[in-house]
Amino acid sequence: MKIETERKFLVKNMDFLAEAVGSHSIAQGYIAHDGGNTVRVRLLDGQGIMTVKGSSHGGISRMEWEKEISAQDFKDLLQVCHGSVIEKTRYIIPAGQAAVSESHSTHGKDRFFEVDVFHGDNEGLVMAEIELGNEEENFPRPSWLGEEVTGDKRYYNSYLTIRPYKTW
């Protein structure tokens, strides 16, 4: 299993689109979520993925396990998910290389922002995430990057299935 270290931000405007090097269509649902632990099924460009995420400390770092599943398995498992289905387009934006850190082995690794433009019940919400090598790693802050919402449960996808953005 790996530890995922990521930070989340609201996005001020759509200027990031000019920097996008790719995009993905995503649909996902949550089979379970309790105390920071989640079990998610996702369809990413037609490929199914099951993900288990463990409790986080402050919302930045958490355990993550993933396994590919078939698109049919995704559809079947979606029937036992709680709340609504998350629908979004994810844009990939280069963020440069990781800061040099011998102690955390982040030397020279390319970083990317993943900007999610939500559809359906969460239309209007646009969030950016960046996965880091450690919690102290520095990274560029483009002008379109807004307020940090790391650790704010309202912006967790699992929360958005129960309390969609449009209902706030």
Active-site residues, by number, are 30
What distance in Å separates the CA atoms of residue 49 and residue 71, rounded to the nearest whole number? 9
Exposed / middle / buried, residue 115 (Cβ in 10 Å: 0-12, 13-18, 19+): buried
Per-residue DSSP letter, 36: T
DSSP string for 99-161: PP-GGGT-TT-EEEEEEEEEEGGGTT-EEEEEEESSTT------TTEEEE-TT-GGGSHHHHT
Under 8 Å between Cβ of 4 and 62: yes
Which amino acid is it at 32? Answer: A
Tell me the C-alpha distance between 72 and 70, whole Å: 5
